[in-house]
Amino acid sequence: AFSPEGDYILFASHKEGQCDLWRAERADADLYWWQNQKFEVKRLTEDADVESNIRFSPDGSRLSFVKGLGDLWTMTPEGKDAKRLLRSWNPPQYDWAPDGKWIVYAIDDENFNRDIWIMPADGSSEPVNVSRHPYDEHQPVWRPDGKVIAFTGDRIDRETDIFYIWLEKEEHEKSKRDRTIEKAVKKIDDVRKKKDDKDKSKDDEPDAESEDDGEEKKSEVEKNGTEKEQEAKEQKEVPEVVIDFERIHERVRRVEIAGSTERGLFWSHDSKKLAFAATIDGKEGTYTIEIPDEPKPKLLTAKTAQQPRWLKEGDQIVWLSAGKPASVSSKGQETAYSFSAKQQVEREARFRAAFEMAWRLMRDRYYDERLGNRNWDAIRRKYAQMASKAVDAESFAIVVNLMLGELNGSHLGFSSRRSSSEPLRPDWNITTAHLGVRFDANYKGPGLKVKDVLPNGPADRQKSRIEPGEIVRSIDGADVDPGMDLTEVLNGPLDRDIRLSVHRAEDERREVVLRPISYGATWNLLYEKWIRDNRRKVNEASDGALGYVHIRGMNWPSFQKLERELYAEGAGKDGLVIDVRNNGGGFTTDHLLTILCQPVHAITVPRDGGPGYPEDRRAYATWSKPIVVLCNQNSFSNAEIFSHAIKTLKRGKLVGVPTAGGVISTGGTPVMDVGYLRLPFRGWFVSGTGEDMELNGAVPDHIIWNKPGEMPSGKDAQLDKAIEVLLADVEAWEARPMPQLRKATERAR
């Protein structure tokens, strides 16, 4: 960050083995920054905590920064008088008030709800929550005149919109007519003032006959000097920020821009416009609105960029566009300032710095401060030299992943970025086509015997149908047999016809022409076949009393599919088998619990109808009948949270084997320009026991291990047990006492 006067720079650096704040000044202050070859550098902080997000107060007398996980501090630019204003476990997004007396910030609470807060910059009183909403708000920005704070929020249908608050109640209460009159009066006053200044200037003009040329020049110099002094005075005028905190959250207003997600808010220097990045009506760019009377967005430029500032000098926006400094005029014309600079990088030092950063990130932000009960300093010493000696980014990534492995945790990983010096990989790869059939492994030949045909696959179509038991003797004219490598005849582009010679009997031959599919598509067909087989088995074993659904992932498409299948597969059934085996996780557990744990508080009956409940009154389609949940060692992350929840809430029985024991919420962050580090930051604990779900999979009520070879042969002992358990629960559920429905007119009087 440049100081307000531009005479020094503050920055964060890891150069002494830890991240501290530093101050740099030009060795020769008479030369521009880019002309200097040497700089005087001074260390401002020296501790193990990481400092970041540096900003100056408007008058430059103090600087603010985030320290550690999210504490907000201020101190003088010389590194003196450090004060902690805010203690937090997550970094705030913040902005200074124009008068430097207040700071507005957005921060998460323990429930991960982000609100907008205002606090005095000297920490003299407690912060005030000015948004108070259960959905997130982000990136507050203070208008230069000090009267408005704007921010983004997800309040309506989880769509990100712009919101703003008038800080003074009087301003909030003004109507459009009031503001129009104010503008008109100001315009008239400005015209009168100009006229009065002009008349006064004429009165002050000296008599031409009594003044010589020298006096005229002196008067002109004095006049110009006065104008410059006045201009400088106007620039230094600081607006007084007045805040009426009483019920301030009720003054939040919304700017509704349909179908758009706004981001990157920043104000014009004169407070007239609020600029932001968005895609509106299919056009991405930077837009402006005028709050509050002209909220319709106007496209300023088709460009979006980082770190925007709207300067008074030249009425222009300056920012980083595709990594290059650039400016945009108020008319939307962009000028980029390209440059080139040589940088000499020592590979060993670069990798060592990246390793130290990755090590430090895990030390400070991993969800468990015990770090797997490992001595993290010793781990650093163990791998640091190996990382610095890596010959390329991929080798470096291997070392970092070895370090992460010491934690014995889930959701960890480091991936490298391909450097420009590494060879480009081809944009094509060898594809092995699949015919949509599976062959009998016990058949000795000649040819290949079809064991089964995948439903909806290439061999299940009217013009290219193949039947189980038929023999494929050749593929594209090449004879085939069980001992050969089929990639020799199947590798190639998928977009081609493959000709098969198919025999049912020795004298029954025909040619089948089909379009193959990829192995990924084949996997999906096999998955759908597995689902159909399971449904058929559940239906037959329960005489139609039970339904079956499999949740493939804890994602939104899978959730929406489950909602549909509650009716498609559950209608008329008394119980439901819910299978989360091989489910890799996601985020939808609480949505699923809303479906499965909806309170039954009333029964409705229409005229001549039966008992029920109106679906349009519920958040989602609902299932209140008995369930059983299948889980296994491949149920991971959010699928495990779901399994734990079913058991904790006693909603149904768990059948299968313990889940993977890999439950941590994870994010991620770049590590310099070397790679990307996954960063597990939030632990999950079973509410009934307080035990961490990490390394502690959900243990089924009935543990059943399927033996090797059973499932491919069609036997699924876990599913068999689930059917048995659920039928018993259904029997008990059906025996429960039911209330006798009685109309008001049937009550005894």
Place of tokens 């070879």: 709
Describe the crossing of helices 556-568 and 589-596 by its angle, rounded to 10 degrees: 20
- 107: its two tokens: 């921060």
Whether residue 205 sits in one domain with residue 84: no
Same domain, 507 and 553: no
Same structural domain for residues 716 and 645? yes
Q: Which residue range forms the structural domain that includes residue 502?
A: 437-517
- 182/69 same-domain check: no
| Whether 476 and 409 share a structural domain | no
> Residues 606, 642: one domain?
yes
Instruction: Judge residue 700's burial from the number of C-beta atoms within 10 Å of its C-beta, 0-12 exposed, 13-18 middle, 19 or more buried.
Output: buried
645 and 726 co-located in one domain? yes
Same domain for 452 and 503 = yes
Give the separation between CA 104 and CA 127, rounded to whole angstroms. 9
- What's the CATH number where 643 sits? 3.90.226.10
Tens of pLDDT, residues 513-544? 999 999 999 999 999 999 999 999 999 999 99
- Please tell me the predicted confidence (pLDDT) of residue 104: 98
Asked whether residue 275 is domain-assigned, the answer is no
pLDDT in tens, 100-139: 999 999 999 999 999 999 999 999 999 999 999 999 999 9
Say whether both 83 and 207 belong to one domain: no
Domain harbouring 412, CATH code: 3.30.750
For residues 317 and 233, give the distance between their C-alpha atoms in angstroms, rounded to a whole number. 23
Distance between CA atoms of residues 675 and 669, nearest Å: 9
Tens of pLDDT along 411-420?
999 999 865 5
Cβ pair 438, 452 in contact under 8 A = yes
Q: Total domain count for the chain?
A: 5
Residue finishing a domain among 89, 104, 122:
89
Residue 583 clears pLDDT 90, i.e. is over it: yes
Residues 509 and 529 in one domain: no
Of 123-127, 321-325, 425-429, give the range with the top mean pLDDT.
Answer: 123-127
- Same domain? 597 vs 715: yes
Of 47, 70, 89, which residue sits at a domain end? 89
Question: What's the confidence (pLDDT) of residue 669?
Answer: 96
Query: Do 513 and 527 belong together in one domain?
Result: no
The pLDDT score that the predictor gives to residue 205 is 59
Amino acid at 234: E
Rounded CA separation 503/469 (Å):
9
CB 51 within 8 A of CB 67: yes
Tell me what the mean pLDDT of segment 658-679 comes to: 97
User: Does residue 76 lie in a domain region?
Assistant: yes
Domain assignment present for residue 155? The answer is: no
| pLDDT tens per residue, range 493-503 | 899 999 999 99
541-562 residue pLDDT tens: 999 999 999 999 999 999 999 9
**What's the predicted TM-score (pTM) here?**
0.88
- Per-residue pLDDT band for 222 (boundaries 50, 70, 90) equals low
Confidence of residue 149 (pLDDT cuts 50, 70, 90): very high
> pLDDT > 90: what percent of the chain?
82
User: What tokens appear for 64 in the block?
Assistant: 């603010």
